Amino acid sequence: MQSLSTKHLLGIKDLTANDIQLILETAKEFKEVINRPIKKVPSLRDVTIANVFFENSTRTRLSFELAEKRLSADVVNFSASGSSVKKGETLLDTVNNILAMKVDMIVMRHSSPGAPHYLSKRIKANIVNAGDGTHEHPTQALLDSFSMQEKLGDLAGKKIAIIGDILHSRVALSNIFCLQKLGAEITICGPNTLLPKYIGEIGVRISHSVKETLQWCDVANVLRIQLERQQIKYFPSLREYSLYFGINKQMLDELDKEIVLMHPGPINRGVELSSDAADSHHSIILDQVENGVAVRMAVLYLLSQQI
Ligand code: CP
């Protein structure tokens, strides 16, 4: 039986191409399981997992919880709001107290880049990074690649565009690492102010033209404008951003080929994507969400072999 080269999932950067292929192959099997009338398997019976969220989430949190329950794990959920973090308890004390209750694995979202890496050096339990600030969101990248493979097959040589607020996005970096390891070509597109200064040095093409990028790509993965992480103004107004970098259905319909439209959610409707594009036949946004459960089942199952 194959196993992952790592005990934690901290980021895609640490995974080998074989690790990624193993997760995606395992996810295919779990997707079959969750489409059966009986969606549960006993794989993680007697394993206890804590979902520790210091930042808001809808998709990732519910998806992990469902994945854990489908695998028959025992699950506890922790939100920083309403917890003793508000009384000044540290991250390490909080997690050590949760682990003292015989928890085996931690799924963690935190606003500080590197928070799960810090913990991984100080605790014994397996850690899954469910998003650390603007750094990485590995399971999002894995479910994005899984969804692209479902539509396009092998991603080697496929042209993937990542469009929007790259600067503040953990999804962008994880997608770039994942897609490069799968052999895809990548263009990032957005206003200069929303592209990290040295991003060209990691082997991606850069464009400031959405029209040209849509003509070039097989997949457009559109990212949210993350206003909550923007302390200064990166563009004059949302209206202007939408005018120059927003995507609508007409733009997709007018291409001389079919492309796949993706977005990790939550969508700012009318800003980076119009509603008619988000809800069109081009979009696989809800497939991404569906696939998230199977991919997270695969990650938890494979990591549990190293408890
Ligand atoms: N895609 C994603 O991470 O969504 P949530 O913030 O709702 O978890």
Residue nearest to atom 4 of ligand 1 (CA): 59
Residue nearest to atom 6 of ligand 1 (CA): 57
Residue nearest to atom 3 of ligand 1 (CA): 60
Would you give the DSSP letter of residue 277? Answer: H
Ramachandran category for residue 102: left, alpha or beta (phi over 0 → left; psi -120 to 50 → alpha): left
- C-alpha torsion sign, points 211, 213, 219, 220: negative
Pocket test for ligand 1, best of 57, 147, 284 (most atoms within 8 A of CB): 57
Q: Ligand 1 pocket, 266 CB below 6 A?
A: yes
Determine contact, residues 290/264, Cβ cutoff 8 Å.
no
User: Any idea what the Cα angle at residue 159 is, between residues 155 and 164, rounded to 5°?
Assistant: 115
CA of 199 to the centre of ligand 1 (A): 23
pTM for the model stands at: 0.97
CA of 265 to the centre of ligand 1 (A): 6
Q: Ligand 1 pocket, 175 CB below 6 A?
A: no
C-alpha distances in angstroms, 196 versus 172, 271, 291?
A: 11, 21, 29
Q: Are strands 74-79 and 205-207 parallel, antiparallel or unpaired?
A: unpaired
Determine contact, residues 307/48, Cβ cutoff 8 Å.
no
- Tell me the per-residue pLDDT of 113-147, one tens digit each, with 9 for 90 and over: 999 999 999 999 999 999 999 999 999 999 999 99
Determine contact, residues 146/152, Cβ cutoff 8 Å.
no
Q: Ligand 1 pocket, 289 CB below 6 A?
A: no
User: Any idea what the Cα angle at residue 302 is, between residues 19 and 176, rounded to 5°?
Assistant: 35
DSSP annotation string for 74-94? EEEEEESTTSGGGGT--HHHH
Radius of gyration (Cα) for the chain, nearest Å? 19
The CA distance from 169 to 137, in Å, is 9
- For the cut 90, the answer to whether the pLDDT of residue 292 exceeds it is yes
* pLDDT band at residue 111 under the 50/70/90 scheme: very high
- Cβ density class 267-305: b for 16+ within 10 Å, e for less: bbeebbbbeebbebebbbbebbbebbbbbbbbbbbbbbe
Q: Ligand 1 pocket, 228 CB below 6 A?
A: no
DSSP annotation string for 162-211? EES--TT-HHHHHHHHHHHHTT-EEEEES-GGGS-TTGGGGT-EEES-HH
- Tell me the per-residue pLDDT of 181-231, one tens digit each, with 9 for 90 and over: 999 999 999 999 999 999 999 999 999 999 999 999 999 999 999 878 778
* pLDDT band at residue 1 under the 50/70/90 scheme: confident
* pLDDT band at residue 307 under the 50/70/90 scheme: confident
- C-alpha torsion sign, points 126, 130, 131, 136: positive
